[in-house]
Structure 1
């Protein structure tokens, strides 16, 4: 298999490249050169926002599948749809649980293509075929994209699945935990609980799904070789709300969490007032079996202590 990975310079994206390479795929990485790729892969230097530069870098090349780790807006999706037309038969977009932001909140209003739910979120809760795409929003502004991360991913999914001239799968990742996590979200819990500092949470935090970074890389590599299309959830079995996560961290580090709620201070990462639990039934029907959070979380907490 000849695979192009856009981005993938860090965290589970780098693991994905290694997973593909070690499985025997010919891997080409396209990025801006911020860090060297793993050994044994080809690197092309290009800014994915620069359509002309991307076409130049890809001149004369084609791939069985493209895995896009860094598509955050419909503008970037539109560039990919044009540039990779005739260059690939399959495109895997790394999407996010954040596409479900705003669902599962009591009293929350549904937007077009959504269904408000209190249950674990299945893919049809956000339907890319019905989601509106607005390319006139300031998607070229990096801060705007960061502030509208979930919406950018929703619109990127919608544009690719409706307009791209190749098969598209959108992998909606749960909250990814593992060694090399640059976000520091789990480390926040570990540090504060070990030091006996309070951990701020919502008065009634809602459940969320998580996935181990190595398993996320394996799932993306599996999706690259599969033939399904459309969105698919990717998450380990078992959910945790912020209180349960803090208790799990406390058991591993040997300390009792000091939880505070309703104080007005910013809540900790992974404390949500809306449901972020994901239904992985489609992935199971397609043939991929995820592990359980309990299988790997203690080891990840130990990694975060280092």
Structure 2
């Protein structure tokens, strides 16, 4: 299988490259040259942000499939897809569950209502950019040759957003850690490597259309995630569990200050209750949370403990001062101190 990856040097793209190389596929990576791709690939350099002229390196060549992880202007997907449509068999676009109209209902499947989007748009909000990217890929390749991988929360080695790396770093510092509850709160996410393997399986099988791609409901919980962080770091730590009402009353921000975590309610339903039965039926397999956490910690240690961060994404995580202030006032027996 000859595979072209648009991106391929960071996080999800890198996971796809490594998975394809592991299968013995012939891999070409088109990227800007800011980060080195894994060994064993053919590199082509260009810059999609400059329009069609930035795609000159893709003017020739043919591939069985392309995987595109782009999350910026839909027009960049449009330009690449149009250029490649006659020389590539299938187009797999790593989209997002953000394409569903807000608020998405609990248990929403792939037939849910979608946001508006345009394949010709420039810089637009994230949901519209992913919707526009889907439309652009489909317009160029046709519905039967286009796969939309609608991922939710993605974690794992090489994460450059900082969610799981923040929790691992905080737990590794030790002491008393604010743990937003309840412990039994189910989480949905996908390890980037499981996303990569499923996507390559789907491409090889000729699948098309949209697929929600996160772990099945009940795959893990907030308690199991943080317990795994404690075990793999070996830290001397106490997880101080706090009920959602107390966390919110203190003004702490779910998702941004407390990554991964969302309290029960509309936001939680949107992120952690997806119907993934279609992807599971098509072979989705999700490794245990312990493995994802352990491998992410091993990767962090190998690069000095500090994860890279995408410059277009805000920093995540609770400051030590705000955590200490909350813990000083919080009484788990009921009420503030």
TM-score, reference length from structure 2 = 0.72
* Secondary structure, counterpart of 1:256 in structure 2: strand
- Structure number with greater Rg is 2
Alpha-carbon contact 2:118-2:135 (below 8 Å) kept: no
* Secondary structure, counterpart of 1:39 in structure 2: coil
Q: Which residue matches 1:299?
A: 294
- Once the two structures are superposed, the pairs formed by residues 34-183 of structure 1 within 5 Å of their partners are 34-100=34-100, 102-103=102-103, 116-119=104-107, 121-127=108-114, 131-134=115-118, 139-140=122-123, 145=124, 148-161=125-138, 163-166=139-142, 167-183=145-161
CA distance change for structure 1 residues 178 and 41 in 2, over 3 Å: closer, same or farther? same
Once the 2 structures are TM-superposed, how far is the Cα of residue 175 of structure 1 from its aligned partner?
A: 2.1
Alpha-carbon contact 2:31-2:45 (below 8 Å) kept: yes
Once the 2 structures are TM-superposed, how far is the Cα of residue 65 of structure 1 from its aligned partner?
A: 0.8
Q: Which residue matches 1:227?
A: 206
**Structure 1 residue 249 corresponds to structure 2 residue 245:** no
In 2, distance between residues paired with 1:2 and 1:298? 32
* Secondary structure, counterpart of 2:275 in structure 1: coil
In 2, distance between residues paired with 1:234 and 1:87? 28
Q: Which residue matches 1:269?
A: 259
Q: Which residue matches 1:108?
A: none
In 1, distance between residues paired with 2:48 and 2:14? 18
State the Cα deviation string for residues 130-161 of structure 1 (Å, max 9, x = none).
x5324676x34xxxx5xx22331122113323
Once the 2 structures are TM-superposed, how far is the Cα of residue 300 of structure 1 from its aligned partner?
A: 4.1
Unaligned runs of 5+ in 1: 104-115
Once the 2 structures are TM-superposed, how far is the Cα of residue 243 of structure 1 from its aligned partner?
A: 5.8
CA distance change for structure 1 residues 35 and 249 in 2, over 3 Å: closer, same or farther? closer
* Secondary structure, counterpart of 1:257 in structure 2: strand
Alpha-carbon contact 1:7-1:29 (below 8 Å) kept: yes
CA distance change for structure 1 residues 2 and 8 in 2, over 3 Å: closer, same or farther? same
**Structure 1 residue 258 corresponds to structure 2 residue 235:** no
TM-score, reference length from structure 1 = 0.78
CA distance change for structure 1 residues 40 and 203 in 2, over 3 Å: closer, same or farther? closer
CA distance change for structure 1 residues 126 and 205 in 2, over 3 Å: closer, same or farther? farther
Alpha-carbon contact 1:102-1:274 (below 8 Å) kept: no
Once the 2 structures are TM-superposed, how far is the Cα of residue 71 of structure 1 from its aligned partner?
A: 4.1
Q: Which residue matches 2:310?
A: none
Q: CA RMSD in A?
A: 3.1
CA distance change for structure 1 residues 244 and 154 in 2, over 3 Å: closer, same or farther? farther
In 2, distance between residues paired with 1:22 and 1:70? 23
* Secondary structure, counterpart of 1:124 in structure 2: coil
Once the 2 structures are TM-superposed, how far is the Cα of residue 219 of structure 1 from its aligned partner?
A: 1.6
In 1, distance between residues paired with 2:287 and 2:41? 32
In 2, distance between residues paired with 1:226 and 1:54? 31
State the Cα deviation string for residues 153-182 of structure 1 (Å, max 9, x = none).
122113323x12341101122322222222
Alpha-carbon contact 2:117-2:128 (below 8 Å) kept: no
State the Cα deviation string for residues 27-85 of structure 1 (Å, max 9, x = none).
11111111222222211111123343344212221211111022433222221232122
Question: Paired residue for 2:275, among 279, 283, 301?
Answer: 279
Q: Which residue matches 2:164?
A: 186
In 1, distance between residues paired with 2:42 and 2:57? 12
Alpha-carbon contact 1:2-1:26 (below 8 Å) kept: yes
